[in-house]
A and B are shown apart, each in its own frame.
Chain A
């Protein structure tokens, strides 16, 4: 086809079809979190001793670190979805979550005697925990990928990886209400494995679904 014909076609279409309107970020992300929450509470009970542990550092660290990863991830996802923005500008904010996690680990090392470290690390059921976090995150990840796809990222793999990170962080936040293991060691390793797997899955999904 000649370029001039193409231009005629495109401008004819533009005059009859207004530009698309992607789902706004608050709606898209709100829906993503809601779907994750529904899945979480449909599959798992809230732990019975939640009121007792609510002020315990080992428990608190889970939702706090999760939120400290999820919030910068939102900003990064919004940036990476625009063709003109600099997606890496706010990347350093993710470090805050890791610093808080490191403080939690240091605290645990001071409080718990080394003989008990491996028991704390392994917890009750590490494989089930990592698998659950991964599972709850999948619909969140899909929803975020969908929202990025409606926009125009010029870094599809990075965008997908960030969607995976966000899914993992939100899922960690939610699953903390069920998970009986309250050690920062456990959080770092088993939740960490799940989140890394989600980042990888997201990157792959980005490669497959976010290119245009």
Chain B
């Protein structure tokens, strides 16, 4: 009977790799690639396989070139996570800067827009104005002025919980109103 494959000992493989053990280092990088791939597939649900593989390779290169920055008193996994996070954020930022736009993305956005009713700003303001008391103040602070819940709570002297309740009520009322006007 063979033993089930044990979870690889990252710390052991990595330290052996640092001392020049090629096989151990290779197994370590394989493990890093496998973990990163699984993690990124979940995180980058929209991105293609090529995108995920790009980040995986970026992380592998970063881990390799910065392998001297691991301190023996830290778990390898924590160090790995810090580097992977840095590279993933980096990748995501450069993606959003020179985002390669696909015509298919546009098409889906366009068709989305058409199916949704267009609400004009002044209609929205009038509708918010028609809300009752607290809800009106809360919705106009949050939706029209773009304040956060906690800021709204401070300016109106309410608890955050009360702001959430009033906001929710206001939105439901607005929703009902615009549904009616559609008919």
Hey, which bits of chain A sit against chain B, CB under 8 A? 1, 3, 6-8, 10-16, 18-22, 82-84, 151-152, 154, 211-212
Contact = CB atoms under 8 A, between A and B. Distances in A.
A83 B66 contact: yes
Interface residues of B, number: 32
A3 B56 contact: yes
Residues of A contacting B: mostly: loop
Contact of B69 (A3, A14, A83): A83
A82 B68 CA distance: 11
24 contacts: A3-B33, A3-B56, A3-B60, A6-B60, A7-B60, A10-B29, A10-B61, A14-B17, A14-B22, A14-B64, A18-B20, A22-B68, A82-B71, A83-B79, A83-B86, A84-B74, A151-B69, A154-B82, A154-B85, A154-B86, A211-B90, A212-B62, A212-B65, A212-B66
A67 B33 CA distance: 46
Contacts of B64: 10, 13-14
Contact of A83 (B20, B30, B53, B83): B83
A14 B25 contact: yes
A11 B25 contact: yes
A210 to B, nearest CB: 12
Interface of B: 17-18, 20-23, 25-26, 29-30, 33, 53, 56-57, 60-62, 64-69, 71, 74, 78-79, 82-83, 85-86, 90
Contacts of B82: 83-84, 154
Contacts of B78: 84
Nearest to A22: B68
B57 A6 contact: yes
Contacts of B30: 7
Considering residues A20, A21, A84, A212, which has the most beta carbons from chain B within 10 angstroms of its beta carbon? A84
A15 B85 contact: no
Nearest to A7: B29
B26 A8 contact: yes
A7 B27 CA distance: 9
A212 B23 CA distance: 27
A3 B53 contact: yes
Contacts of A6: 57, 60-61
A20 B68 CA distance: 6
> Closest 3 interchain pairs by CB?
A152-B69, A15-B22, A19-B68
